[in-house]
A and B are shown apart, each in its own frame.
Chain A
Amino acid sequence: MAINPISLNVGRVTEANHTAVTPDKAQKTFANFLKDAINQVNDMQIQSDHLTQKMALGENVELHDVMIASQKASIALQATMEVRNKVVEAYQEIMRMQV
C-alpha cells in the first residue's frame, strides 16, 4: 500500500520570533531547563524507591526491574554530579578572573 506524502502548507515562521533575548529571560529559561532535568533525575530515584519498596512488601514485581531502575537512577545521578562539578568549576574559574 503506497502512502502518499501529505503536503503541508504551513506558513513560514516569521522573523518576529527572533527578538533579542534579555539576560534575565535567558537566565530564566536556563533555570527552568536545569530544574526540569533535575526533576527527571529525581523521578528516577523515586521510581527506584517505589519499586524497591514494592519488592520489600512482597508485591508482584520482577527483581530485574528493581535492579534496572536502581541502576538507571544511579547513572542519572552520576551524570548530574558531573554536570554540577563542571558548573562549579566554571563558576570558580570566573571568580578567579582578575578585575
Chain B
Amino acid sequence: MFSSLNITSSALTAQRLRMDVISSNVANVDSTRAKYVNGNWVPYRRKMVVLETKGDQFSNLLNKAMNKGTVPSGVKVSRIVEDETPYKLVYNPDHPDANEDGYVQMPNVDPLKEMVDLINATRSYEANVTVFNASKSMLVKALDIGK
C-alpha cells in the first residue's frame, strides 16, 4: 500500500545526501589541505554522488527473465566519487602551501557548478515532496469511497 511513499522516501534521502555533498564542496572551496599524502598536503577534490536504482537487484533480474516486468523501486546513492579534473593553480607566494614558483594548488570546486547542483537538488526534493503529497491525497481520497 505504501510502496510509492517508500520510493519517495528513498528519493528524498538521496537528495539530502546530495545536498550534504554539495555543502561539503562549497565549504571546502579554499581548502588546500584535505589529505596528507607522502609528506605533502593535497587540496580538496570536488565530490559528486552517483545515483542508482535501488531494489532487490536479483528479484528484478528474475522478473525480467520471466517476462514479468520489473517492480518499481526507489533510488539510492551508490557511491560518492571525486572529480578528477586538475586543480586550479593560483599565484600566491605568501601562501604556506605555495610551491617554489609561488603557485598554490586550489581545489577544483567551481562555485557556479555547485550553485546549479544546489538548485537541481532543491528542485528534485520539492518534486518528490509533491509526489508524496499527491500519493497521500490519493490514499485519503480512496478512504472516501463508499462514505
Binding site for B on A (CB under 8 A): 3, 62, 64-65, 68, 71-72, 75, 78-79, 82, 86
Residue from the list A72, A82, A86 in contact with B5, Cβ < 8 A:
A72
A72 to B140, CA, bound (A): 11
B123 at the A interface (CB under 8 A) = no
List residues of chain A with CB within 8 A of the CB of B132.
68, 71
Residue from the list B12, B16, B136 in contact with A71, Cβ < 8 A:
B136
CB distance from B58 to the nearest CB of A (A): 12
Question: Given contacts A3-B65, A64-B16, A68-B132, is CB(A75)–CB(B139) below 8 Å?
Answer: yes
Provide 5 A-B residue pairs closer than 8 Å at the C-beta atoms, listed in order of the A residue.
A62-B16, A64-B13, A65-B9, A71-B132, A75-B140
A82 to B146, CA, bound (A): 10
Binding site for A on B (CB under 8 A): 2, 5, 8-9, 12-13, 16, 65, 129, 132, 136, 139-140, 143, 146
Main SS of the interface on chain A?
Answer: helix
CB distance from B57 to the nearest CB of A (A): 15
- The reply to whether B140 and A62 contact each other, CB–CB distance below 8 Å, is no
List residues of chain B with CB within 8 A of the CB of A82.
143
- The reply to whether A62 and B12 contact each other, CB–CB distance below 8 Å, is yes
Residue from the list A64, A75, A86 in contact with B9, Cβ < 8 A:
A64
A65: nearest residue on chain B (CB-CB)? B9
- The reply to whether A65 and B13 contact each other, CB–CB distance below 8 Å, is yes
A17 to B129, CA, bound (A): 49
- The reply to whether B140 and A68 contact each other, CB–CB distance below 8 Å, is no
A68 to B133, CA, bound (A): 10
CB distance from B146 to the nearest CB of A (A): 8
Q: Name the 5 nearest CB pairs between A and B, nearest first.
A: A64-B12, A3-B65, A68-B9, A75-B139, A82-B143
